[in-house]
Amino acid sequence: MHIESAELVFYIPRSFSLKDKRRISRSLIEKTHQRFNVAIAEVGTQDIHQTLTLGIAVISGEASHTRNMLDETIRYMEENTDAELTKVEM
């Protein structure tokens, strides 16, 4: 069993309240989970309305598959949101 995880930090310039951030966060998490079936959750910066920190975990039987899934998931998330990906920590 192989596990890969990443912490992603997004900057959300159009978020003026925690309600705006929550709307963007939920949409991104739901779309990503439906497409890739990965574990994903907000893991930090909950009180900062223009910063979204998400954790992602992928589990697979093969190390290369795990890494490829994580890379594809990150790429998808970056392309399918108005937020700007500012940091990726694996």
CA distances from 35 to 15, 38, 85 (A): 25, 9, 19
pLDDT digits (tens, 9 = 90+) for 50-67: 999 999 999 989 989 999
Q: Which of 89, 23, 20 is nearest to 31 (CA)?
A: 23
Q: What is the mean pLDDT of residues 29-42?
A: 93
pLDDT of residue 28 exceeding 90, the answer is yes
Residue percentage of the chain with pLDDT more than 70: 100
Tell me the pTM. 0.89
The residue range of the domain holding 55 is: 2-89
Provide the pLDDT for residue 82.
85
CATH of the domain at 37: 3.30.70.1120
Is 8 a residue whose pLDDT tops 90? yes
Overall domain count for the chain = 1
Burial class (CB in 10 A: 0-12, 13-18, 19+), 67: middle
Residue 4, judged by CB atoms within 10 A of its CB (0-12, 13-18, 19+), counts as: buried
Which tokens belong to 2? 């192989």
